[in-house]
Each structure stands twice: as structure tokens, then as C-alpha cells.
Amino acid sequence: MPFWIKCLLCIVGIESLGFLSGWSTASSIRGWYDGLVKPPGTPPNWVFGPVWTLLYAAMGVALARVLHHAPKGRGKRKALAWFGIQLFLNLVWTPVFFGAHMPGASLAIIAALLVAIVLTIRAFHPLDRPAAVLLAPYLAWVGYATYLNAGFLLLNR
């Protein structure tokens, strides 16, 4: 399969999963979330959609690059496993924070997500450096989101 098709499929797949995760809890934003005390530096709600759209697209390209360019073997299997783990944690965070209104549990999930992203980048790097670099903004944003999650927990006890 040509790279561009893999790339398109990965982007559409990850964007779709992200959309479903966010859509399933969108109603909580206008109710529960808007009523929370927000930590300093919390962006306006409209920022999250475009940022996540770009990050999910970069994740899709990174995944496609590893699928297409990395040789078969243990390293590729490990990299794809870490990618799957971090994607699962990413998708679980939203319904736990917004849907279940559990900032404590979501903080544990996002902390695990940070570790999983680092391990994914580390596994991608020897296989395809551009794929690893594409995940750096995602790591930075999730680090920022971890700060926000901790702030929501502390300010809304």
C-alpha cells in the first residue's frame, strides 16, 4: 500500500477516535466544566478542538511513517504496542474527566499517558526519527493538560 494511503487511513482513524471520545462527553463542557474554578493559564474552550485536530493528524502521520518505513521485527512491534497504549489512555481520559467528573482518576490516567508518550517517542526514534519528532508537540500539550488537570483537582475539592 502506498504511504499516502496509509497516512490518510491513519489520520482519519485517529481523528475519528478522538472525535468520538470528545463528542461522547461534549454536553459536560457547558454544564459541569464551565462551573469549575479554572487554573491560571486555562485556554478558552474553542482552542481545544483545533489543537487536538492538529495533534491527532500529527499522530496519524507518525503512525503511518512507522508502519510504512520501519522494518518488521521486535522494535516495530514494541513501538506499535506503545502507540496503542498511549492512544488508549488518551481516549479514556476524556470520558473519565468530562463524563464521570473524576479529576483525580483522570490525573492518574494523564500521568500514565505522559509516560506512555515518552516511551512511544523513545520506541519510534530508532525506527523513524521524523515520526518521533511529530509526537513532540503532543507530549508538550499533554504535559500542559496534566498541569490543568492537577489544577482542576486542587481548585475544586
Give 111-120 pLDDT, tens digit per residue: 999 999 999 9
pLDDT confidence bin for 94, thresholds 50/70/90: very high
What's the domain range around 84?
A: 3-155
Mean pLDDT value of segment 77-87: 98
Rounded CA gap, 121 and 85, in Å? 12
Answer left, alpha or beta for residue 36, where phi above 0 means left and psi between -120 and 50 means alpha: beta
3-30 pLDDT, tens digit per residue, is 999 999 999 999 999 998 887 777 777 7
18, burial (CB in 10 Å: exposed 0-12, middle 13-18, buried 19+):
buried
If one counts every other C-beta atom within 10 angstroms of the C-beta of residue 94, the result is 21
Q: What's the structural domain count of the chain?
A: 1
**Closest C-alpha among 120, 69, 76, 86 to residue 17:** 86
3-class SS of residue 100: coil
CATH of the domain at 62: 1.20.1260.100
Mean pLDDT value of segment 34-51: 94
Model pLDDT, residue 27: 72
Could you tell me what percent of the chain has a pLDDT over 70? 100
